[in-house]
Every structure is written in structure tokens, then in C-alpha cells.
Structure 1
Amino acid sequence: MSSIDLGAAIYIAIKPILKIYSIIFVGYLLARYNIVTTEIARGISNMVVNAILPCLTFNKIVTNLSWHDIKEIGVIVLSAIVLFAVGTALSLLTNYVAKTPKEWFWGLVFAGLFPNISDLPIAYVQSMDNGTVFTEDESNKGVAYSCIFLTVQSFLMMNFGLWRLVGYDFEKADDDSDSIPDDSDRVANNNIKDKNDDYMETTSEIIKNKELNERLDENLPNKTLHDEQSAMDNTISHGQETFDTVPESLRSIDSLYSSEFLNNEADSAHDNVSRVESLQLFIPEAAHKRIPSTSTMSDVFKTFSDPLFGGSSAYDQPSRIDGQVFQNNTNLKQMHTFSSIPSYMSVGSLRKRRTSKTRSRKPSINDVIEEYSAVDRIKTGELDLSKPLTLTEDIGTSNVNIVRADVKMHDLESAYQKDDDSQIHSFEEIKNGVHNVPSNVETENSSDAEHYAIKGSLKIRVNNFIREHKLEWLVYIAINFCRPASLGALLGIICALVPYLKALFVITYVHVHLAPDGEPVLNFLMDFTAYIGNACIPLGLLMLGGTLARLEIKSLPKGFMKTAVMLTALKLALTPVIGVAWTNKLADLNWLENRIGRFVMILTFSMPSATAQVYFTAFYTPVGPKHVQMDCLSVFFLMQYCVLFISLSIVLTYALKVNLGV
């Protein structure tokens, strides 16, 4: 390959960065205008993690690596550990020099520990396969090397559970909040209490509304009116038990108000939005003029009942629907339900309007927190972080269930334990009829009893063995290998390193019988994984842009900017220098001989922090107005991606001219 001048090297280094930032900007716009909401983004993220990424890693590893590359694979694993160790050391150095606020110490450690070695390096390497510097085969091998880096990081982050590091900041914050009450939380609670009291008073006002009774008197038979008035009086006098006697129309509106507005009481108290203003969100725009700013809830409902605004109500029309006269209280309730509430107040319409409202407002980090936060489930014990989470989500929402649904572990434990000494019944005791399988353990037929006895006894013994020898950590690691992302990489490495297995997927030097089309018999799986895997990096970059669009800064601890500036400089300026020195040393030892391997090594050492930290932090963040850890992380990420464009261009230009001699 002929040598190129410095200007050409700079252009070659910058061009992929421009493409990457363009995709990120599109993702930013999609999130900024709520074309891709937080719920949709999480669904796409789950799809990438569980289907697209495993296909990409399996395809690239099997296609481009073999047992001849064992040395390179070992060097990459070693280099990944060195990279993580360097990042951790720089984080601790930053904490020592800049005096990082205690609210973000573990977030600082995590940010230095794990870089973004998935989307950005792969996207960059794939952009350089035009033959100017690397051939297509070299580029594909570079992607396979990046997948090995990603596998090591995923193993440490998920299998070893290091993603839980960010949670220690919140444990400290909880301890501090328990010892020193927060004035803002106390004020919010008082506002919520006042809101509930006002709501009950307003409900009573609606029930006792004399105008409502007068309008009913004009249209309803005396007996029906008497029943309706009795229901209202009973409602006022019987306190908590009276909700069932409220007319269905009022109950419908009450349920609507409760479900739509009282579920987010903290947000309502924080935003200080009145009930009338909230209900106006669901009224046609022309009706707003009919409701003064000082109106009560009864005024709002009178507007609902106005025929001019879709409220053909029982209060204004005879008690007749489709020719049927309603003569009893039950029919009256049904009439109120279907006629006094406008069509646009149905549940489906409310959801549509709520979605439309969500899409019209500016996205914020609160959307991410509300989507991912699991603080309530953690505090109640519903979610145990010491056990593996569900394996088919980017961040699990519950613990994985490793026991079959037909025989639960607690059922088996109660089935095969004696009452006197809590010893497990032996199989012979059950077989001889001394003890029977209890009725709470369901079996398909009588012959299943012995099967479940053996299986249950074995599971209990294994479970007791794990607890006695404190091997829960080993079970945690093993179960997380079943994650699709880990499984795809693991199967890919096994198939790539075993020649006869690899020959079933791609053509190698090993002779196997081929399919009639001249391809290996399982080559269709390679086409399948390649086709799906091609969507991984564009979607990942779009999600990265959406994440950056939702970042926001409300309040920062004192002295945090010094921490953010220092860690950004160390991560994007000093770490690449260490990466270049490390790569040169590996080349001198002949441990890393090919050009694409050296380039990927330097590229990986130049990456910013992993964006997954945003979602891990949101997982631990309580829903509310205060989220200091997320504010700190937002500043750090925005600062990194502003500097990355310059730092990456300089580092890769140097790598092309000096390390590779292009």
C-alpha cells in the first residue's frame, strides 16, 4: 500500500467520526421530538440486546476467527483487563485530586471502569473497509476483535454483577436521608395531603350540588329522583364505605380522576398543577373558554354536560336512550355512565390524549427514570439484587425463575421435610408409602410421584449445598451465561475454535460434505445472523443519540465540575496515550502482529464511558424531582461527547501515520 500524506490521513480518520455523529444526531432528533418515546426506546434496546447483538457477535466471531487466532484472543482479553484497571485507577486518582462529591463516588468508579466498546468501535471499523487502509476481510476481523472486547466487558458487568456498583451511591444517600429529614420531601408530602383533602371536599361539593338536583328534578320521575337523592345523602354520611353508592356517573369521573392524576401525586405536588387545569387537558379546546380560572370541579362537570361540547347529559335530556325509559336507580346509573360523560372521556381516548400530550412535550431524564426505576420493588423485597434478574431484558425487572412452574421449590421443600427434625424424606420412604407427595404439588399422573420425589429431593439438596458453602456467587455467574448476548458470544467462540464445528458454518481447510449449492450445511444460519446483525450498530447509535437528548442538569454538588473536567481529560487524553504505548509493547513482543488488531486496540483505549451507565443509574434512582447522581452523569457524558470528536481524530490520525505507517 502506498503512503498517504498527513492531510489524507486526517480526512480518513475524521470521515467515520462524521458518519457516527450524524447517526447520533438523528437519534437525538427522534428523541427530542418524541418520535421515539422512552417506552419505544426500551423496547428497541431489549430487541438489540436479546436478538440483534447475539447474531452480530456469533456471525463475526465464527466467520473471522479460528483456533489460529487463539493468541490474539488471549491478548485481547488481557488488554481488556488492563483497560478496565487503568480506567479504575484514573477514577480513584480523580477522586483523590478533585475531591469528588460523595453522592457520585461509585458512579465515578463505574464511569472510569467501563468504556463504550460496543457501538462506537464497531461502527468506526466498519467504515474503513473500502480498501484505502483496510480490506473488507481485515475490517470484519477487526469487528470480531471488538466483539471479544465487548464479551469481556459484558462478562464483568453482568455475570460478575459489577453493574450494581452505581447502587452504592444511593445506599449512602438513603442513610443520609434517614438521619436528616429532607424539607423538600416534607413539603411535597404536605402538598399531597392537602391535595387529597381538597379532592374529597370537591367530591362532596359535586354530590351536594343543588343545581344538579334541580336539573334532575325537571327530567326524572319523582321516585327515581328520590332514589338518586338518597344515594347522594348516604354518600356524604357514611365516609369510606359510601363510594359504592355514588351514582355511576360520578364514580366514573372519580375513577378517571384518581387513575389519571392521583397515581403521580409527587409529580403533581411538585408541578403545582390544579385539578381543574388537569381536567381541562381532556376537554375540547373550545370548552376552555367556558371554564373560568376560578371554577370548581362542578363547573367543569357542567361544561362536560353541555350538549354544545359533546355532553348530551341526563341532566339536560329526558331519561330516555334509544326509546327506552329508565324507571329505576340501576338504569339511571347506566344512563349516567354512558350519557353524562362525553365520548372523548373514555379510557381509550384518555390514553391516546395522554400519549399525544407526552409526545408534544420536551423529553427529559425523568422519562428514563420513570421507565427504569425499580426502587420501590427493591425496598419492598420484591426484587432481590443478590440473585440474577430476568435474562431477556437489558435491565431485569424481576428475579429469574429457575424452578419449573409445575413444581415450585417451596412446595417441594414443604413436601419432603419432616415436622419434627426438618430432615428431607428419602426416596424409599415416599416409595414405600410412608410419606406421600402432598396435594399442593401437582402431578400429571400417579407415575409422576416418584419422578418429582427424586427431582425435588435433588434440587433441595443442591440448594442446601449452595447455601452451606456460600456458592450463590457462582450460581449468579452461571445463570447469567444464559443471557442471549453472553450465549451468542460463547457459542461463537466455541464454534470458531473447534475446526469441525466451524466447517459446518463456513468453508475452511477441514473437509466436510457440502450442501448441493456448494456451501456448508449450516451456512443458512450465517446468512440469517448476518442479515439481522447488520441492524445492530445503526440502532445502537440511534439509541445513543436518544439517550443524550434526554440528559438534563438541574443541580450539581459543590466542586463536581472539577471532577468532570479532570476525568474527561484523563479518559480521552491520557488513556489513549497508555493504549498506544501498550499496543507498541505488544507489537514488540510479537503478541499482536496484524495491523487491524493494533488499530482496534488503540481505538478501544480512546473510547468514552459506557452509555449503559445511564440506565443502571436510572434503575436505582427514586422517581421524584431530585436525582443528583443522574445530573452528575449528564454533565460528564455531555462533556465527553463534546471532546470526543477532537480527541479521537488526533489519536487515530497518529495511529494511522505512526503505528501503522499508512
Structure 2
Amino acid sequence: MLSISTLIWVACRPLIRLVFCVSCGIIVTKKDMFPLVAARSVSQIIMNIGYPCLMFSKIIPAFTSDNLRALGPLVLVAVIYILLGTLLGFVVKQLCWVPHRFRYGILMAGAFSNVGDLPTAVALAVTSAAPFNGTDDQNLAVAYIAAFILVFIIGLFPLGGHRMIIWDFTGPDVEWTETKAQSHQKHRRSPFALRWRKPGFKASDTNTTPADTEKQAEEKSVEDIPFGLESSSKADPCDKVDSIPRNDLSKPESTILPIEPSPCATSINSLEQIQSQQSPRPRIPIPPSVINAIKSFFTPPSIAILVAFPIAVIPKLKALFVPVAGSSIPSAPDGQPPLAFLIDATSYVGNAAVPMALICLGSSLARLTIPKRGEWRKLPLGAIGLLAAGKLVLMPVIGVLMCQGLTKAGVIPKEDKVLRFVCIFCSCLPTATTQVFLTQVYSGTGSAEHISVFLIPQYILMFLTMTTLTAYTLHLLS
């Protein structure tokens, strides 16, 4: 059993390294030494080269046929966290007013957390000391985090999570005062508000006029139409054809001469048979959404993870990359497996991915717009505070209780301390900065003003809650 002072130090040490890298990114950005174009280029290098190499070099040595069963609990916990985050965003949207250009983005902010650089950086530091087993558990921790990254990528792109940002920027914008007023009216009409009203209260006591009520109803009906269905909800001019009386439809004059009926019906049948053979069969068009979903599976991180897992669990393939006991595959002249140089190369490149990702995170935080003194009244302070508290205070509590319950139920092996640590720690992650990049792309103006004010409190609160959760998790595992 580790002492309290030891637990606090072990929990703080990885965050010190994290703060150092993030601070470097903030400083070089504030000094104009790391422009936006360079930051985006480095981010592309990290996502398309750094992280694939890191996952490939860690998954193959770490995974075996014995711990392959850990994939089930990892995927289950990752999916539950996304669903709980989506529910959290929905509850925040119902209880507080949210900007019109962030009405669906808040669902994405609750669902998708930063499962890449933050847990990887902390797990590499924590698993290097007791009660873990050093390098072996470091590789295993990164391999387990790869499952969270895979679920993140699949949920964000193939399953269409990124489309929530597209829905935010569909249609005209609505002023914050009007959005706030509509939210207040909606809350007053909710069952929770009606329950606490006085018995003598009547709906006519509100200051809204019938014209205002009709206008709000129209705006609500338009707002509630899902993306992609606006055009189908409008009346089609072709539908009016049925309303035309049939006796007014005059028969058009044909310019084709009438054909005399042929005495031989077999010639007509043979002609129709030839035409049916020559006419090509109509092809069933594949929806573009299906094509885009399939393409999104073939991103470099997804390919690296999907390729590394089969190699790791098939002994003959694994023996080509890392030493395997009882393998008969001849070794290279240096005594290493024939393809061990690929593990060395990918490990060399992958080691730079985490610190560079943290520097890019600091650069992104440095570019977030901090509201000025007179702009605070325009901000959804209730939604900002509730989302930050939900993701970094409530979610860790739920994560600890859920993972402990799954451990007692036998879903998560009690002896696999790395698996338990990763599953619990991933419950205390702020919103992914990927949403900032996607918002800048889909907004059309390159701005991400709404997501910025939601991220700043989360990343400030993160250092306190992460330290507390890490110390408590180590106490559970020791």
C-alpha cells in the first residue's frame, strides 16, 4: 500500500510533464514562432505518421492471445463513455441556453473526449513505476488506449459524428438574445417548471402575444427539422398534378404515324425480347454517405491499428517482428527477428508523436478567444459550467463506479491493473480539440468562437481532477 504523499507525487508527476509540453506550445504561439499553418501541418504529420507508428510499435509487442479478451471491455467502456457524454450534452442543452451555432456541437462536445495525447502521456508516465511493471505495461497501456482511439475515429467519421457540426451551420444564424429568450420560454413550458408554479398561474399570464407564440412555433418547427430533410418537408410542385381535373387534360397530338397491327404476333414478341436483351440493367446507386463512411475507415491511424492487432495475436506473424518463445523463424544477422527493424523505426518516429501533440494542444489553447469584460453577458455561462462539471467531475465518479462494477462482475479482469487504470482514467478527459479544427473547416469563416469558451474551463479544471482521479485509482490498484 502506497502512502498518501507517494500517491500524490506519482499522480502529479505525469501532469508536470504534460504541463511543460503544453506550456511550450502556448509560449511559441504567443511569440508568433508557431503560426497556424505550421501547427496544422504538424498536426497532419502527427495524425498520419506519428500516431500510426506509435500504435503499430506498441500494439504488436504488447498484445497476445491471452490479453486479447481485453478488447471487449475496452470497446464496451469506450462506447458507454460516448453515449453518456452525448446524454450529458443533451441534458445541458435542455437545462441551459446554448448558442444557435452550437446547438448540436454541444452534443459532440459531450460525446467525444481527448482520448489521444492526454491519456497516452499520463499512462506512459504512471505505468513506468509501481504498482506496474515498467516497459511491458507501458506498451500495454498504449495498446489499450488504441482501442479508445479506434472507437473515437469510427464514431466521429464513419458513423457521422462530425455531421453535428455541419448541422450547426445549416441555415441562417440567430442572435444570442433571441436564442436565449426562446430557451427561457421553452423552460417555462417544461413539465419541471410547471410543477413548481403557483396553483393560480395561467398560461395567459405570460407577456407573449399570440403573434409571438405563432412566430416561435414556426421557428421551432423549422429548427426541429433534421439536417437533410428540409427540402423533403416542402411541398413538391409535382404533387399538384393530382389536383387537376382529368377532363381538362387533353390528349397531346402525336407526331408518330400509327402503326398497323401486325398479323404475326411472334415477330413483335421476338423484337421485344431482343430489345430487353440489349438494354442494360439499371445499377443500384450507392449513397455517397456509405462511400464516405467506408473511406473514413482507411485513415492511417485506423489502418495501423487494424493491421497491428492480427499480427500481435498470430504467433507466426508476430515472430517476424518481436522475439516469440518457441518460434522456428530464422533470425537476422544481428540475432533479432527479420522485421524487427520496422518496430525500431516506427518506435523511433512514434516517440515524437506524444510531445509534439501536446505542443500542438498548447498552440490550440493559445489561439482560443478569451471573452472581453463586456462580452461575458453574451456567453452561456450556465451551459459552460455545467458541461465542464459534468465531464470532469460527474463522469469520473460514474467511471469509477462503473469500472469497479464491471470488475466485480468479471467483465474486467481484476488482475489486469493496466486495463483497470486505462478504463477509469479515460472517464476524466476534456472535450477533444479536434472539434476546434472541424468547426473551423465547416463554419465557412474559419472561426470557432463558441467551442473556445467551452474548452477553456475544462482544460483548467482538468489538472485538478486528473491528479485526484489518478491518485485514487492508484490507491484502488495498490
- Look up the match of 1:604: 426
Q: How many residues align?
A: 373
RMSD of equivalent CA atoms: 2.4
Q: Quick check: 1:590 aligned with 2:410?
A: yes
- Look up the match of 1:520: 337
- Look up the match of 1:160: 159
Q: Quick check: 1:635 aligned with 2:453?
A: yes
- SS of the equivalent of 2:130 reads coil
Q: Quick check: 1:39 aligned with 2:37?
A: yes
Q: Quick check: 1:496 aligned with 2:318?
A: no
- Look up the match of 1:274: none
- Look up the match of 2:474: 656
- SS of the equivalent of 1:568 reads helix
CA contact (8 A) 1:500 1:510 kept: no
In 2, the alpha carbon distance for the partners of 1:656 and 1:424 equals 73
Counterpart AA for 2:139: N
Correspondence list, 1:135-534, <5 A: 135-136=133-134, 137-173=136-172, 465-467=283-285, 470-509=286-325, 511-515=327-331, 516-534=333-351
Q: 1:619 to 1:650 in 2, by over 3 A?
A: same
- Look up the match of 2:123: 125
Counterpart AA for 2:328: V
Q: Write out per-residue CA displacement over residues 29-58 of structure 1, whole angstroms, 9 at most, x where no aligned residue.
A: 111111111111111111111111111111
In 1, the alpha carbon distance for the partners of 2:58 and 2:138 equals 10
- SS of the equivalent of 2:88 reads helix
Q: 1:547 to 1:559 in 2, by over 3 A?
A: closer
Deviation at 1:424, TM superposition (A): 13
CA contact (8 A) 2:104 2:164 kept: yes
Counterpart AA for 2:299: R
Deviation at 1:472, TM superposition (A): 3.7
Q: Quick check: 1:108 aligned with 2:106?
A: yes
* Aligned sequence identity (%): 31
CA contact (8 A) 2:85 2:110 kept: yes
- SS of the equivalent of 2:83 reads helix
Which of the residues 370, 383, 387 maps onto 1:567? 387
- Look up the match of 1:623: 445
Correspondence list, 1:67-78, <5 A: 67-78=65-76
Counterpart AA for 2:355: P
Q: Which moved more, 1:548-557 or 1:72-81?
A: 548-557
CA contact (8 A) 2:59 2:139 kept: no
Q: 1:6 to 1:50 in 2, by over 3 A?
A: same
In 1, the alpha carbon distance for the partners of 2:164 and 2:315 equals 40
Counterpart AA for 1:150: I
TM-score, normalization by structure 1: 0.54
In 1, the alpha carbon distance for the partners of 2:172 and 2:346 equals 45
In 2, the alpha carbon distance for the partners of 1:480 and 1:510 equals 39
Q: Quick check: 1:644 aligned with 2:462?
A: yes
Q: 1:557 to 1:170 in 2, by over 3 A?
A: farther
Structure 1 spans left out of the alignment, 5+ residues: 181-422, 430-456
CA contact (8 A) 1:556 1:632 kept: no
CA contact (8 A) 1:64 1:141 kept: yes
Deviation at 1:476, TM superposition (A): 2.2
- SS of the equivalent of 1:160 reads coil
Q: Which has the higher contact order (CA 8 A, sep 6+)?
A: 2
- SS of the equivalent of 2:167 reads helix
Q: 1:483 to 1:32 in 2, by over 3 A?
A: same
CA contact (8 A) 1:111 1:613 kept: yes
- Look up the match of 1:19: 17
TM-score, normalization by structure 2: 0.74
Deviation at 1:120, TM superposition (A): 0.4
Q: 1:520 to 1:570 in 2, by over 3 A?
A: same
- SS of the equivalent of 1:67 reads coil
CA contact (8 A) 1:560 1:632 kept: no
